[in-house]
Structures are given as structure tokens and as C-alpha cells.
Amino acid sequence: MPSLAPILAIESSCDETAVAILRAPGSILSSLIASQAELHARFGGVVPEVASRNHLMAIDPLVRRALEEAGIAASDLGAVVATSGPGLAPALLVGASYAKGFSLALGIPYLAINHLEGHLLSPFLGAVEIPEHLALLVSGGHTQLTHVRGAGDYSVLGRTLDDAAGEAFDKTAKLLGLPYPGGIEIDRLAEGGNPERHQFPKGLMEKGNLDFSFSGLKTSVRYFLEKNPDLCSTSEGMADLCASIRKAIVGVLLEKTERAMEISGLHELAVSGGVAANRALRHGLQDLCNTKGWKLHLPAPELATDNAAMIAFAALHHLRSGEQSSLGLEIAPQWQVGN
């Protein structure tokens, strides 16, 4: 990858305002995140209008801090990039608009980046070339299996048809009365529970199917709790429920991933997205790859959840070929990656 001036990246697709400055091929000069998790916890989930308002308040001070931490001036930047989709429209609009204004003021290129592509490439941050591999992207809003032939060359083999895995964790956690973000709480409590205590359904498990469906699990948990309202009242009962729910979700992810690897004939697997931090999933994938002789790529913990460093790294692979976006380009809340 040729030497480029540092680039400024902005990520605001949901409830995290993130800013990063990278120098090719992947040297992180600064990476900052302003979290809104506590703010949205009172609502039990992300409220788009609240998220966008707080992005507006956080973004400029965060950019100024990032430049200071990187030890550079705005005039040293070679480009500014921003997540333009998929995501919450009001939130995306804040980051993309700020980036366009920054680009116009400095006379440097602007580039719109797909949030999912940022996740897909995050396990390889710093690599000049992206190896051919299968990618499991598993987050709060997305769950998909993608054949990655290289940066910019993606074919989706399977995706969620309803709730994503992270969404299933958060929604079932809400049913259990756990605080937001619930996926983290289920993972923590599951460590002390018996995953065999309760059995919950796994959707779309017929042979050859690589798509995902987690809405049936959520419904099953709701009906189960209506029939067994006292199970959440003891620490043991809660731990067993969390362990059983985690087992059902992670079990689907592991089985579908193994199936996709065997169908595709690939030998390298990369995992990204916030659920990549789930301990049962990480251990299960490592055991699977050790057994099959596959190479596993996991992002650093700080790159698993939404961040701007991954957006900057994805952008580097486009910028090196001279690609840039028009300042008139609209955000794309439903923008998917691959075909």
C-alpha cells in the first residue's frame, strides 16, 4: 500500500460517536469513542433522535481531541471518510455531513464507507492485502456469512432474515429484566450457569441453509418466562437461563459457520462485529478451527465493537486506487455489502 497522508474517519451509524486517524497501511494515530450506552439504557434500547442529538454535541470536540492525540494539524490530513450506511438515518447524517464539511473546508477528498465493510476487514487491520477467507459478521444489527476474495470483492452466502444475533441477545436480555446492553450481561451471567438446563429452538437449521433466523428464539423465551415467572428471581435460575440462551444462539453461529466453510472450501475464517467478543463464541470458533485445521482471524477487542479505526482501514484500500465520493452523495441507511 503506497504511503498516504493521515486520514480522518468518522463512525456514527448507531449510538457510538467514534473518530480515528490512521496512516497507511494501518498505523492508528488516534482512536476515540464517545459512548451513549448509559444514556440509552433508560429506554432499554437506542432511540435514533437521542443518538443523533448526542452525535451533534460530541463529534467536533472528539475530532479536535483526536487531532491533538495524533500530534497533527487538520492541514496534515489527506482525506476524510465517514460511515454512510447501513445504520440509523439521523445518526448517519450527522457523521457524513460533518465529514463533507471538513472535506470542503480543507479541499481534501471525501469518501463514503460501508459500515459492514469496516467490520469485515477489521481483523486484518494493518495488512496490505486481504487474504481470501470466509467472514462471519455478527453484531447487534447484522449477522451474515460472506466470501471475501479481497478488499472490495464480497459475496454474501447467508444473512439473517429477521433478528440479528446481537439483537436476539439484547431482546432476550430485556425479557429477563437485564440492563442494556443486554448481550454483555447474558454473556457475563452465562459463565456461572448450566447451558443444558433449558432447551431453546434453533431456526433454519435444515441441511445446506446458510441464512439465520433468531426471532423464534425470542418468542420461545417470552413464552417460557410466562410459564416459569420465578426462574429469574434467583441467581442460579438467571445464570442457567443466560447460559441456555447463549448456547442456543452461539450453537447456530458455530454450526452455520462450519457448514459455510465446508461448502465454500475456504481455509481461513475471520470473525467481526460486537458479538465477536462473546466468550462462548470465541472459544467455540477457536476449537472448531483447531479441529479442522483452519486459520482463525479475530479482531482486537477494541476493534470488535463499532469504531472509526475499522472505517479508516477500509477506506485506505479504496483511497489507494484514487477512489473518492461526491459531496452530493446521500447517506444509505439500507446499504448492504456484497451480492
Q: What is the pLDDT of residue 39?
A: 72
| Per-residue confidence band for 1, with pLDDT thresholds at 50, 70 and 90 | very low
Tens digits of residue pLDDT in 199-246:
999 989 988 899 999 999 999 999 999 999 898 999 999 999 999 999
Q: Calculate helix-pair angle for 279-292, 182-190, nearest 10 degrees.
A: 70
| Per-residue confidence band for 272, with pLDDT thresholds at 50, 70 and 90 | very high
DSSP class of residue 196 equals T
| Per-residue confidence band for 3, with pLDDT thresholds at 50, 70 and 90 | very low
Query: Whole-angstrom Cα distance, residue 232 to residue 186?
Result: 12
270 contacts 120 by C-beta, under 8 angstroms: yes
The CATH T-level fold of domain 7-125+303-319 is Nucleotidyltransferase; domain 5 (3.30.420)
CA distances in angstroms from 71 to 78, 90, 94, 203, listed in the order given: 15, 31, 25, 50
Q: What is the mean pLDDT of residues 178-184?
A: 89
Please report, for the chain, the start and end positions of each structural domain, with discontinuous segments joined by +: 7-125+303-319, 133-298
In sequence order, the 6+-apart residues with CB closer than 8 A to the CB of 62 are: 17, 18, 19, 32, 34
Q: Does CATH number 3.30.460.80 belong to domain 133-298? A: no
Q: What is the pLDDT of residue 57?
A: 94
Choose between 128 and 248: higher pLDDT. Answer: 248
Pairing of β 110-114 and β 27-35: unpaired
Count of CA atoms in the C-beta half-sphere (13 A) of 213: 12
Q: 7-125+303-319 and 133-298: same fold?
A: yes
Amino acid identity at 36: Q
Q: Is 321 left (phi over 0), alpha (psi -120 to 50) or beta?
A: alpha
Q: Model's pTM, two decimal places?
A: 0.93
